[in-house]
């Protein structure tokens, strides 16, 4: 392992480590991720998995990311975590009693959202330009997250099988997109996406359709849902 130290200057002195890992002739380069202290143990476990280190390195090619805690956000209260594509921040709902596995599962899923950040930005740009309608925007966003849920679930399963992640990091996914999309609409997830479209799009591009009203989501420490 080779470590180079790079000094970055802003309001404070920040030291960022560039770390080189070797695994089966592959080299992964990743930068230290600013992370809430309470989540540092989860991030360290995630980094023990070579496939996860490769994921992080790929994400960081587009820019740095952060992992923070916000228990007051409506999104974290409802869905546990979310990815902010503009500020490149994973925000997690952290509370006493939440399991490490549940946090690991949430972070890995949001890392997969970060992986397709440019595609999310492209959809936003289409909305701003009035080149996509509301329903299409919502469906395309949900399709991205459906694919991400499948990829995240596979990665988590690799970590569980390697005895790196606890078993309750498991991410439940749905058999097909139609089932996934139905659940997201019922849970109010699609409504959040639709509201984002409404903030971006010119009025003439908005096609209103009634989504299910948001309702409380149940979570299980043994079967997390990849939202």
pLDDT tens string 156-213: 999 999 999 999 999 999 999 999 999 999 999 999 999 999 999 987 655 545 444 3
Q: Cα(55)–Cα(108) distance, rounded to whole angstroms?
A: 9
What percent of the chain is modeled with pLDDT above 70?
Answer: 76
Task: Judge whether 16 lies within some domain.
Answer: no
Task: Judge whether 10 lies within some domain.
Answer: no
Task: Judge whether 174 lies within some domain.
Answer: yes
**Residue-range definition of the domain harbouring residue 115:** 29-200
Q: Cα(131)–Cα(172) distance, rounded to whole angstroms?
A: 34
Is the predicted pLDDT of residue 216 greater than 50, yes or no? no
Q: What is the pLDDT of residues 64-93, one digit of tens each?
A: 999 999 999 888 888 899 999 989 999 999
Task: Judge whether 215 lies within some domain.
Answer: no
Task: Judge whether 164 lies within some domain.
Answer: yes
CA dihedral 44, 46, 48, 53 (to 10 degrees): -110
Task: Judge whether 142 lies within some domain.
Answer: yes
The whole model's pTM is what? Answer: 0.78
Task: Judge whether 20 lies within some domain.
Answer: no
Task: Judge whether 3 lies within some domain.
Answer: no
Band (pLDDT 50/70/90 cuts) for residue 155 is very high
Do 168 and 103 meet the contact criterion of CB atoms below 8 Å apart?
no
How many domains is the chain built from?
1
Say if residue 193 is exposed, middle or buried (CB neighbours under 10 Å; 0-12, 13-18, 19+). Answer: buried
């Amino acid at each position: 392992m080779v470590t180079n130290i790079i000094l970055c200057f802003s309001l404070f002195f920040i030291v960022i480590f560039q770390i080189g890992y070797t695994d089966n002739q592959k080299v992964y380069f990743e930068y230290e991720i600013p992370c809430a202290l309470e989540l540092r143990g989860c991030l360290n476990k995630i980094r023990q998995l070579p496939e996860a280190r490769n994921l992080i390195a790929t994400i960081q090619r587009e820019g740095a990311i952060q992992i923070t805690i916000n228990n007051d956000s409506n999104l974290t209260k409802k869905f546990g975590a979310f990815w902010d594509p503009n500020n490149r921040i994973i925000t997690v709902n952290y509370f006493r009693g939440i399991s490490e596995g549940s946090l690991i599962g949430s972070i890995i899923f949001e890392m997969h959202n970060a992986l397709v950040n440019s595609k999310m930005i492209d959809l936003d740009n289409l909305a701003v330009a009035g080149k996509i309608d509301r329903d299409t925007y919502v469906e395309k966003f949900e399709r991205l997250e459906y694919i991400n849920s499948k990829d995240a679930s596979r990665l988590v399963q690799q970590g569980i099988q390697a005895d790196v992640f606890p078993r309750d990091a498991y991410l439940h996914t749905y058999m097909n997109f139609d089932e996934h999309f139905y659940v997201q609409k019922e849970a109010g997830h699609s409504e959040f996406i639709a509201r984002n479209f409404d903030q971006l799009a010119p009025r003439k591009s908005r096609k209103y359709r009634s989504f299910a009203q948001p309702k409380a989501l149940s979570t299980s420490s043994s079967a997390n849902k990849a939202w």
